[in-house]
A and B are shown apart, each in its own frame.
Chain A
């Protein structure tokens, strides 16, 4: 189907095309790299580090830091992307290169030389806040007695984190990992704004963005709604499977108990 909206039955042709499409293969690998690194370094990694540190330092200071980390998420995406685009420009007065200048290093054209780290940073600074909030809430709900008992027994803060706090927030950790995996798999807005899949030949194109480009931004008027929709359908199936997994693993059913009294 294209802009003329003529429906032509093609069977599974669009799915067959996916298997033989060399770009789809590259995009698939990109998606794995993107999801895995952003998740490890930011959505779970940095989120855990931030919440652990901010609950152990004085509360007012910790709260201030957490508020700052919330800022990128509530900033409109176009403004946030714009700030990064300015910061990583190639001229020596741009923020990144300016800082490098203090160490006597040459300016770098970041988006051309190192597009992936930039894409991961841009998404990571937004993504970390979700895990941060969940982990902080979980850490704060640990009964103070446990911590006090450990202190009396002579445990250091590191031992408390390692042997008491981390085991107790196991479930929130797994939940954030699972939930953010799905979110990252289907996210493309910030990549569209910062690199738009470039530079060059599909360097930072991820699955969702590829689907978007096929349907809405093909040059030369060749619009592939059908193929784009097929790619999106893969994400739907993935989303359904993961939803069923959450359902089973995280016992969401308990949230749905019937009302007790009824009129």
Chain B
């Protein structure tokens, strides 16, 4: 029961948290109405969602397509997010295992380097990356962005997986080896099922990191064919026609938010773990 002693603090927290709630209420209200006063919708309508029919966002008064098709943008974003998540999963589960279980020269140095690289600001690499992508012919390709994302997320992923592998008891693995498993079989059949939570964490982190990526898309992608949701929302917000229809923009933003909301509702434990592992962007 909520006692009288706690009530003032609960109310205080409600006030402190109110701006967050209002912001998301605004997003929702905007998407189902013609106009919004504060957070109150005026004239409810579903016309903001009409672009879902063929994926084309129309600017009133013109037939020119200023924005790429929403469905191709969805595919791009999904391709980016899934590839990033999958590659990070494969690399970090192998690297994390090796670092957790093997003693080799340079192990500490490698771990230390990973930690330093993780706290390294992405901005410092942008200019060098721009040069490298151009030389390699990967500028304006999703592959270029995928490689960068995976490379920059790896230090954190390796640390997360190392932590989980450290927690698997050595005895269990030893008995698998005694029973005749090879090292790789023991890893796959005995150890991996025991770090399922770690794998989920890395997978979700990788997916969200690819799904939300904005700066690298803005900087390294120039043609609309490779736009992802972040770029589309950015263009709808700041572009020439941004004042015309905030309702459509909010509908696109809500579609963009769907996976985030799903993870928020059903996988919060993993999200918390990602934060503790120290993503701390701002």
Q: Which residues of A contact B (CB under 8 A)?
A: 5, 38, 43, 46, 49-50, 53-54, 56-58, 61, 65, 67-87, 93, 95, 98-99, 121, 123, 125-127, 129-130, 133-134, 137, 179-180, 182-190, 192-193, 208, 211-212, 215-216, 225, 228-229, 232-233, 235-236, 239-240, 242-243, 246-247, 252, 255-256, 258-263
Can you report 13 residue pairs joining A to B where beta carbons are below 8 Å apart?
A5-B131, A70-B268, A77-B212, A78-B237, A87-B22, A98-B38, A121-B19, A133-B276, A229-B128, A235-B121, A235-B124, A242-B119, A263-B101
Q: Are B126 and A215 in contact (CB under 8 A)?
A: yes
Q: Is the pair B282, A183 in contact by a Cβ cutoff of 8 Å?
A: yes
The CA of A243 and the CA of B118, in the complex, are separated in Å by 10
Closest Cβ of chain B to A45, distance in Å, is: 11
Interface contact A78-B234, CB-CB below 8 Å: yes
Give chain B's interface residues, CB within 8 Å of chain A.
Answer: 1-2, 6, 9-10, 12-13, 16-17, 19-24, 26-27, 30, 35-39, 100-103, 107-108, 111-112, 115-116, 119-124, 126-128, 130-131, 134-135, 170, 174, 177, 183, 208, 211-212, 214-215, 219, 229-231, 233-234, 237, 246, 249, 253, 256-257, 260, 263-264, 268, 271-272, 275-276, 278-282
CB of A262 within 8 A of CB of B102, answer yes
A35 to B29, CA, bound (A): 34
Nearest 9 A/B pairs, CB to CB: A186-B121, A98-B38, A76-B212, A232-B124, A78-B233, A83-B23, A130-B280, A208-B123, A187-B282
B111:A256 contact, CB within 8 angstroms: yes
Q: Indicate if the CB atoms of B123 and A77 lie closer than 8 Å.
A: no
Given contacts A74-B271, A79-B233, contact A236 B37 (CB under 8 A): no
Q: How far is the CA of A179 from the CA of B115 in the complex (A)?
A: 12
Residues of A within 8 A of B6 (CB): 56-58
Beyond A57-B6, A57-B10, A242-B119, 14 extra complex contacts between A and B, CB < 8 Å: A70-B271, A76-B257, A82-B253, A84-B23, A87-B22, A87-B26, A93-B35, A127-B282, A193-B237, A239-B116, A239-B121, A243-B116, A258-B108, A262-B102
Residue numbers in A under 8 Å from B24 (CB-CB):
71, 83
**Given A193-B234, A259-B102; A70-B16 close (CB under 8 Å):** no
Are B102 and A211 within 8 A (Cβ)?
A: no
Evaluate contact between A77 and B23: CB separation under 8 angstroms: no
Q: Is the CB of A133 within 8 A of B272?
A: yes
Answer whether A215 and B276 are a contact pair too, CB < 8 Å, given A78-B214, A95-B39.
no
Which one of A68, A75, A134, A247 contacts B257 once the chains associate, using CB atoms below 8 Å? A75
Contacts of A247 in B (CB 8 A): 112
C-alpha gap A174/B17 in the complex (Å)? 25
Q: Is the CB of B36 within 8 A of A93?
A: yes
Q: A56-B9, A232-B127 are in contact. Are A129 and B275 (CB under 8 A)?
A: yes
How many A-B residue pairs have C-beta atoms within 8 angstroms? Tell me: 215
| A93 touching B19, Cβ below 8 Å | no
User: Closest chain A residue to B159 by CB distance?
Assistant: A255
Most chain A CB atoms below 10 A, which of B16, B103, B124, B170:
B124
Knowing A76-B214, A82-B237, the reply to whether A53 touches B12 (Cβ < 8 A) is yes
Task: Please tell me if the beta carbons of A252 and B115 are within 8 angstroms of each other in the complex.
Answer: yes
Partner of B124, one of A74, A137, A186: A186
**Chain A, Cβ-Cβ closest to B253:** A79
Q: Contacts of B219 on A, CB cut-off 8 Å?
A: 216
For A71, list chain B residues within 8 Å (CB): 20, 24, 264
- Pairwise interchain contact A46-B16, C-beta atoms closer than 8 A: yes
Q: Is the CB of B280 within 8 A of A76?
A: no
Bound-state Cα–Cα, A258 to B111, Å: 11
Tell me, in angstroms, the Cα distance from A125 to B108 when the chains sit together.
36
> Taking the nearest CB of chain A, how far is it from the CB of B3, in angstroms?
8
- B26 lies within 8 A of A86 (CB): yes
Task: State whether A179 touches B13 (Cβ < 8 A).
Answer: no
| Max chain A C-beta neighbours (<10 A), residue from B12, B38, B231 | B38
CA–CA, A127 and B134, complex, Å: 34
Query: Are B272 and A70 interface neighbours, CB within 8 A?
Result: yes
Cβ–Cβ contact B230 & A212, under 8 A: no
The answer to whether B21 touches A68, judged by C-beta atoms less than 8 angstroms apart, is yes
Q: Which of the listed residues B19, B214, B219, B280 has the most CB atoms from chain A within 10 Å of its own CB?
A: B280
* Minimum CB–CB distance for A5 against chain B, Å: 7
**Chain A residues within an 8 Å CB radius of B35:** 93
* Given A58-B2, A87-B26, CB of A79 within 8 Å of CB of B256: yes
Given contacts A78-B237, A83-B24, A93-B36, contact A259 B276 (CB under 8 A): no
Using A58-B6, A82-B237 as known contacts, say yes or no to A67 and B120 having CB atoms under 8 A apart: no
A77 to chain B, nearest CB (A): 5
Residues of A with C-beta under 8 A to B278: 179
Complex: chain B residue closest to A60, CB-CB: B2
